[in-house]
Structure 1
Amino acid sequence: MRLENINKVFGKRHAKAMALLEQGSSSEDITSETDCHVALRDINLTIPSNGIYCIMGLSGSGKSTLLRHINRLIDPDTGTVWVEDVDVTALSIPDLQKFRQKRIAMVFQHFGLLPHFTVLQNAEFALRVRGVPKHERAEQARYWLNEVELSGYESHYYDELSGGMRQRVGLARALAAGTDILLMDEPFSALDPLIRRKLQTLLLDLQDRLNKTIVFITHDVEEARILGGTVALLNQGRLVQSGSLDELATHPADDYVSSFMSVATESA
């Protein structure tokens, strides 16, 4: 997976902001002159297949925005997203819908479940959208609910579940979709530490068997280390360094990386 020359600006005076961006103006000057926000700036990143890759950064660094470019929930202003030989940015809307259904599933920070659906109906939702027959999609959903330790809760509703259980439903839904790419946007950040560690272990156990390409958003260095330690670090919409956490700690690209890793080490 490759993201090439990705730029994204939000705001009403978008054309002016993009012109300033192309001229090399700083993000601060662009905001001052146009009241627009430069969310991503000249992102070039290669994400390896069949592993867990963490995108990190402080709040507002652009990591969730970057994640949403992969499945085009957000379109880039400039640049290209490649998934193997597919130019995702060039897909028509119908082709994009098919691509999402077959290739990419997503787990959201705030669960993204449908409250009027049961656990089973939520878990099979992606298959339902794809047109999979009712019996087959229910069978797949039950299998993955069992894998995330929710067998027996199929008929329960959203308000009957704890936060950890809701997130496991979201994970089961993504896994039931059967895609080879899984996008995870800080999925465990709202959970208490014990449940969070349990779900991290569950994800690692599943990944050992499934060998998917997982792009995982987090601001927690320890979580990134648990999940494999291969990261890209963003700061104010820029990619400042990528590699292993050990590389970032021993050979930081700039003072921001050094400070980020030092604070993380002190709080560990």
Structure 2
Amino acid sequence: MSAAVDFQNVDIVFGEEQRRSLEMIDRGASREEILAETGSVLGCAGANLTVETGEICVLMGLSGSGKSTLLRAVNRLNVPARGKVLVRDGERMVDVVSADEKTLRHIRQTQVAMVFQQFALLPWRTVEQNVGLGLELAGVPDAERRERVAAQLKLVGLDQWAKKYGHELSGGMQQRVGLARAFATEAPILLMDEPFSALDPLIRTKLQDELLQLQERLHKTIIFVSHDLEEALKIGTHISIMEGGRIVQTGAPEDIVLRPANDYVREFIANVNPLSVLTAWNVMRDRRDLDDAGGGWVWLDRRNTTRFRIDADGLVIGAERNGRPAEWVSCDDIEKLPPDAPQVFWAKAGTSLKTVMHAMHESQTAPVALFDEQSRFVGSIGVRDVLSAIIRR
């Protein structure tokens, strides 16, 4: 993978006394101390973060932690006092902090698009006119603009609403117009500043699902600001947690939940449901740790109720449960099975713990096998493994 955005030692200060403020930052002064002595507000200090191409990076923190401040440095809506913000432009990386006006305009028009919290739709324009606004400002010809707008409205399911005005749409539909407007520029980097926070919970959940579905097709690089931890755990490839203008921990969702860096992060995640983030990989027992049943067979559980026969390539060639031949089937196919068929469910590394537990329930606590992307058997998950993971969390 290659970096799409790279923050390097970024400091952002609002106020006149930037030099004194930077000196205090170097001494480790807090936001409160800087404000008291200089009257300047520390927006962000010493931010180092690399966002890889095609990932969703979620910036999190309490109100005033600096997450939106850092996001807006990507298109230089906030100007860093020090440091670099490198943004990919084809084969090169451009430092938007030092870029001239022409280069910055190019980055804003072609490489970075933004979705705002409050929709920001122009009420005198129709849906299609709002979606095409960025293209119009960029001087895209009318015919091409109409074609691209139509494609994006279809992508977000609003092609039948093209001639309507913003006030005729629900909040969720208005936010989808905002998404279409950002997508229409075809910019590879998308900045999303708490885009769903103003919506009702059910609508917010639906749009989160739609965003993930769109991401599977579009593979944008998304930097997403949120104060909702469940939302971050659901959509984020990586999460960066901020406190007082500083990044205190960055990692995959399960790393944040299982290995909090300090008391602030620990308190931040205290009420998260582990089922929303833990996966089969987090709770599995490696194949090498399972008991050998002889003759190429291996026990999946400590009670010796379920076993697999494995060939030299790691593929399953036989299964038994309670002494009877069994089929091995995906956790995703639970609803398709006849009720009396002996079966052993299997999952992939990224299968959610919630799905694994559903399979265990349906199979009356039988273990769940774990396969890799080449369908090779790599481990097993029993009830005790699940309980241990939840208790540790």
3-state DSSP class of the match of 2:36?
Answer: helix
- Unaligned runs of 5+ residues in structure 2 are 277-393
The partner residue of 2:48 within 40, 44, 50 is 44
1:32 corresponds to: 36
3-state DSSP class of the match of 2:72?
Answer: helix
2:267 corresponds to: 259
Distance in 1, Cα, partners of 2:184 & 2:96: 23
Q: Which amino acid aligns with 1:43?
A: A
Q: Which deviates the most, 84-93 or 70-79?
A: 84-93
1:100 corresponds to: 108
> Any idea what the Cα deviations from partners look like across 1:32-82, whole Å, max 9, x if unmatched?
112221110111111111121111111111100100001111110001001
Distance in 2, Cα, partners of 1:8 & 1:52: 23
Report matched runs for 1:1-268 at 5 Å. 1-84=5-88, 85-265=93-273
Distance in 1, Cα, partners of 2:62 & 2:272: 12
3-state DSSP class of the match of 1:112?
Answer: coil
> Any idea what the Cα deviations from partners look like across 1:80-125, whole Å, max 9, x if unmatched?
0012322222211121111111111110011122222111111011
Q: Which deviates the most, 164-173 or 19-28?
A: 19-28
Give aligned pairs, total.
267
Distance in 2, Cα, partners of 1:94 & 1:196: 37
Shift of 1:265: 4.0
Q: Contact 2:18 / 2:81 at 8 angstroms: preserved in 1?
A: no
3-state DSSP class of the match of 2:159?
Answer: coil
TM (norm. structure 1) is 0.94
Distance in 1, Cα, partners of 2:27 & 2:98: 25
Shift of 1:22: 3.6
Q: Which amino acid aligns with 2:222?
A: I
Q: Which amino acid aligns with 1:217?
A: V
Shift of 1:23: 4.1
Distance in 1, Cα, partners of 2:21 & 2:162: 49
TM (norm. structure 2) is 0.65
Bigger proportion of residues as helix: 1
Q: Which amino acid aligns with 1:54?
A: V
RMSD: 1.6
Q: Contact 2:30 / 2:244 at 8 angstroms: preserved in 1?
A: no
Shift of 1:21: 2.6
Higher relative contact order (CA 8 A, sep 6+): 1
Q: Identity rate of aligned residues, in percent?
A: 47
- Unaligned runs of 5+ residues in structure 1 are none
2:301 corresponds to: none
Shift of 1:28: 2.2
